[in-house]
Amino acid sequence: MKIRSLIVAAVVLLALMGTLYWSGHRTPSDENSTKSADAAPAILKLDEHSLTRVEFKKKDAEPVVLAKKSGSWEITEPKRFPADQTTVTSTVSSLASLNSERLVDDHAANLKQYGLEQPSLEVDLTEKDNQSQKLLIGDEAPTGSAVYAKLAGDPRVYTLATYNKNNIDKGVNDLRDKRLLTVDANKISRVELVRKSQTLEFGRNKGDWQILQPRPLRADNFQVAELVRKLTDARMNLSGSDKDTQEAASAFAHGTPVRIAKVTDQTSTQELQIRKNKDTYYAKSSAVEGAYKVEGDLGQTVNKGLDDFREKKLFDFGFNDPSKIEMHNGPKAYFLTRSGADWWSNGKKMEAPGVQEFVTKLRDLAATKFVDSGFNNPTIQVAVTSEDGQHTDNVSIAKSDDGYIAKRENDASLYYLESSAVGALQKAADDLKPFAPMAK
């Protein structure tokens, strides 16, 4: 019993000695970490939505002024420009909630040692009630990725992380809206591609695009949407020198016209002239000044022909299955009706994989080109009902010399189909089978 008591006492003693040793050898960095966490107050704590004006002043540079009007920011100095709302909002948000790394001096008598007597950057912030704050950014701190910072009228000096400084140190080119077309991409209703030989016009109704000129035609929604995306994604490159800007203007002036794109939203129509000089495309917009080099895929997209934008699929139903299919292939006839997840034919439930293969072949049936003649004596007739019975596609298919020609009801277009595509559809129809329950 005495031996056990001695062992317990020895363990307790060792634990106490360990605690005393750790306390005596705790590193200053541990203590400083705790103090630093407590000594890192916010430099600015404002309601970003109350800010109405922000001015950036750098040494040897013109001031840049942002002003909020009707809920949106714009650049008013050194020249009036539309602002990039995303970039400006992020910058203003960073300024409104600006945290320091640590407090360096709680009552600085000599600002020169911090580079704050003549700051490298001053940011003036004005709120709705005309209350204002001025942030001063000075030299880099000798240790760590930080700079010195303070508020005008406040004796305290802080260190500010360099990445936080970069978030708020913005010039006019950083803050500008760099879009060549400033229309609302989600509300575009008309797009025109104009050149001497032909004008293509697209109209959008309830989300779907149609070709309006040179004549009403079904449009490939994906292709037209890609055209709109590339037009609205076109940006000015403001990172170059004045020489680069002059060279772009000269290259555009001497370039070969490709097309003029006209884009209309609910408020305006804007125009983008696109030209090619050697192997490079340049653009000039009615919405902004200057000519700029643009991506080659934009030039190639606006240079596409009519057929590139036409819908080549024979059937309009999407990835939701149709409700009814009727197909006649010479003497053969196929009737399918969907009820819930099941397909039925002449009162018999059908094998699902075979029906899905047949539906897929119908959905993917597409022309490889458009032709002007060759549609005679159709041997295949297909009617597909979708949209809860509200829409029916009627398609007739005739054999031609080297393939098939298809025609949709009430559509003058003739669709050329490869023999392999029609053969795959016919095989899928022949492979339809009634459902066979597994034997118990």
What is the tens place of the pLDDT at every residue in 222-267?
Answer: 999 999 999 999 999 888 788 888 999 999 999 999 999 999 999 9
pLDDT tier, 17 (very low <50, low <70, confident <90, very high otherwise)? low
Report d(CA 230, CA 73) in Å as an integer: 25
CA neighbours within 13 Å on the CB side: how many for 394? 4
Residue whose pair of structure tokens reads 């970490």 in the numeric block: 33
> What is the reported pLDDT for 440?
62
352 pLDDT above the threshold of 50? yes
Lowest mean pLDDT among 6-20, 116-130, 397-411: 6-20
**Mean pLDDT on 122-147:** 93
Domain edges within the chain: 39-175, 185-309, 324-430
User: What whole-number percentage of the chain has pLDDT above 70?
Assistant: 91
**Mean pLDDT on 148-154:** 95
Per-position b or e across 19-39, b if 16+ CB within 10 A of its CB: eeeeeeeeeeeeeeeeeeeee
Report d(CA 297, CA 234) in Å as an integer: 10
> What is the reported pLDDT for 285?
97
> What is the reported pLDDT for 143?
79
Asked if 100 contacts 149 with a C-beta cutoff of 8 angstroms, the reply is yes
pLDDT tier, 388 (very low <50, low <70, confident <90, very high otherwise)? confident
> What is the reported pLDDT for 8?
44
- Beta-carbon contacts of residue 424 (< 8 Å; ≥ 6 apart): 361
Q: Can you read off the two tokens belonging to residue 397?
A: 């298919």
Tell me the whole-structure pTM to 2 decimals. Answer: 0.79
280 pLDDT above the threshold of 50? yes
Asked if 103 contacts 41 with a C-beta cutoff of 8 angstroms, the reply is yes
Report d(CA 95, CA 14) in Å as an integer: 53
CATH ID of 324-430, from 1.10.15, 2.60.40, 3.40.50, 3.90.320:
2.60.40
Residue whose pair of structure tokens reads 């159709």 in the numeric block: 378
Cβ neighbour number for residue 78 with a 10 Å cutoff: 12
Q: Can you read off the two tokens belonging to residue 90?
A: 């992020």
In the predicted model, what is the mean pLDDT of the chain? 90
> What is the reported pLDDT for 439?
64
Question: Looking at this protein, which amino acid is placed at residue 348?
Answer: K
Exposed, middle or buried: residue 320 (CB in 10 Å: 0-12, 13-18, 19+)? exposed
Question: Looking at this protein, which amino acid is placed at residue 215?
Answer: R
Q: Can you read off the two tokens belonging to residue 438?
A: 């597994």
> What is the reported pLDDT for 34?
39
